[in-house]
């Protein structure tokens, strides 16, 4: 088992994870020659496929697997292969053959949160449940599993919904495992998340901690509440001054200036049919998550406590 310890030190061990290795031909056949593209990003293109055992799968084919993409590939396989949480996408297997690198995941029937926000399918109770579930899975990643894991790219495109609109977090291509004993190992600053969801510390090259995920989570929640993208420009009126600000600034400004701020920011698609006190808790928690000073942001387990305490129907 000497070899096994070596693999563990590398942060991945492929042999004893409960999923299988697929051949390239099997996956080519499953996807009908990679014909049905369902998404791209995170270093690859994702296709819908039908496995030989009749299960629908999402099959991700990584770009430039030969030039150094292998580290990212093994990171993703090694990390997800050992995690288990109802709100994490399940990985069924992989293919590493010649220059090919593919990952096989469960297929999520309702697509991404991003698609669903723009198509008006999500009522208030679904949105609240999604917010709470994603908080739970992030608390698990940051605080409960084997090693502390930062996702580093939380955004609506990486939150997938199953047939019951239960959310699952996907796309760990950028994850960094933070070893508990080595918390100041922050050589992570080469990675970049997605514009609009990135905490300010990315830009200032400060050490990256779990608080970057907290920030991105807050932005996603504000987007679920308002239906607006974080990079939209808003007219911000401050006394006589008018300026253009981002989503966060706009929500803060509304909260500070108007007693009916919630009604003014809520996504019209939600209608009037929502629990006002829960909505207020959710909005305040989201604003706490997106403060610039990372030490002032709550941990994800604290977010779960705040939402659970107030959110029990």
Number of structural domains found in the chain: 2
In the annotation, is 53 catalytic? no
Which among 73, 106, 139 is the end of a domain? Answer: 106
Contact 188, 152 (CB under 8 A): yes
Q: Are residues 75 and 124 in the same domain?
A: no
Angle 168-83-49 (CA atoms, 0-180°, nearest 5)? Answer: 55
Q: Which domain holds residue 22?
A: 2-106
Q: Are residues 65 and 160 in the same domain?
A: no
Is the domain of 136 the same as that of 231?
yes
Q: How far apart are CA 288 and CA 222, in angstroms?
A: 11
What is the CATH classification number for the domain harbouring 24?
3.30.200.20
- Least confidently predicted of 70-74, 119-123, 202-206: 70-74
Beta partners for 109? none
Q: Are residues 210 and 301 in the same domain?
A: yes
Query: Do 132 and 233 reside in the same domain of the chain?
Result: yes
Q: Let me know: does 186 contact 208? Beta carbons within 8 Å.
A: yes
Both 123 and 70 in one domain: the answer is no
DSSP annotation of 88: B
Digit-coded pLDDT (tens) for 107-151: 999 999 999 998 888 999 999 999 999 999 999 999 887 667 888
Catalytic residue among 8, 16, 53, 153: 153
Residue 67's pLDDT band, with cuts at 50, 70 and 90, is: low
Closest-CA residue to 220 (of 274, 154, 285): 154
Rounded-to-integer distance, Cα 198 and Cα 230, Å: 10
Same domain, 130 and 76: no
Same domain, 186 and 125: yes
Q: Are residues 152 and 278 in the same domain?
A: yes
Among the listed residues 15, 258, 11, 222, the one whose alpha carbon sits nearest the alpha carbon of residue 131: 222
Residues forming a β-bridge with 103: 60, 94
**Containing H/E element for 114?**
helix 113-118
User: What is the rounded average pLDDT of the residues 157-170?
Assistant: 94
**CATH number of the domain enclosing 130:** 1.10.510.10
Q: Examine the domain organization and report whether 97 and 118 are in the same domain.
A: no
State yes or no: 60 annotated in a binding site: yes
Residues 102 and 205 in one domain: no
Of 54, 72, 106, the last residue of a domain is 106
Query: Are 102 and 178 part of one and the same domain?
Result: no
Length of the chain equals 313
User: Which tens digit of pLDDT belongs to each residue from 74-112?
Assistant: 766 777 777 889 999 988 888 988 888 898 999 999 999
Would you place residue 184 in the very low, low, confident or very high pLDDT band (cuts 50, 70, 90)? very low
Indicate whether 239 pLDDT > 80: no
Instruction: Single out the residue in 106, 136, 160 at which a domain terminates.
Output: 106
């Amino acid at each position: 088992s000497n070899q096994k310890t070596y693999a563990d030190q590398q942060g991945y061990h492929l042999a004893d994870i409960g999923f299988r290795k697929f051949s390239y031909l099997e996956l080519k056949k499953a996807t009908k020659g990679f014909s049905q593209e369902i998404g791209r990003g995170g270093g690859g293109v994702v296709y819908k496929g039908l496995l030989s055992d009749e299960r629908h799968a999402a099959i991700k084919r990584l770009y430039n697997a030969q030039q150094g993409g292998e580290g990212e590939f093994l990171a993703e396989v090694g990390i997800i292969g050992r995690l288990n949480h109802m709100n994490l996408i399940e990985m069924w297997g992989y293919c590493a053959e010649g220059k090919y690198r593919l990952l096989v995941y469960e297929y999520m029937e309702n697509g991404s949160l991003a698609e669903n926000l723009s198509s008006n399918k999500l009522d208030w109770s679904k949105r609240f449940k999604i917010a709470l579930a994603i908080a739970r899975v992030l608390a698990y990643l940051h605080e409960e599993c084997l090693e502390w894991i930062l996702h580093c790219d939380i955004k609506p495109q990486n939150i997938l919904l199953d047939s019951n609109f239960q959310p699952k977090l996907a796309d760990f291509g950028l994850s960094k495992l933070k070893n508990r004993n080595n918390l100041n190992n922050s050589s992570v600053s080469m990675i970049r998340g997605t514009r609009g969801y990135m905490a300010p510390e990315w830009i200032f090259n400060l050490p990256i901690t779990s608080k970057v995920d907290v920030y991105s989570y807050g932005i996603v929640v504000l987007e679920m509440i308002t239906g607006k993208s974080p990079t939209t420009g808003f007219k911000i009126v401050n006394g006589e001054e008018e300026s253009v600000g981002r989503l966060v600034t706009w929500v803060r400004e509304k909260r500070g200036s108007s007693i009916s701020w919630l009604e003014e920011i809520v996504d019209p698609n939600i209608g009037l049919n929502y629990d006002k006190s829960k909505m207020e808790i959710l909005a305040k928690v989201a604003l706490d998550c997106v403060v610039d000073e990372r030490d002032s942001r709550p941990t994800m387990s604290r977010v779960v406590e705040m939402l659970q305490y107030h959110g029990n129907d």
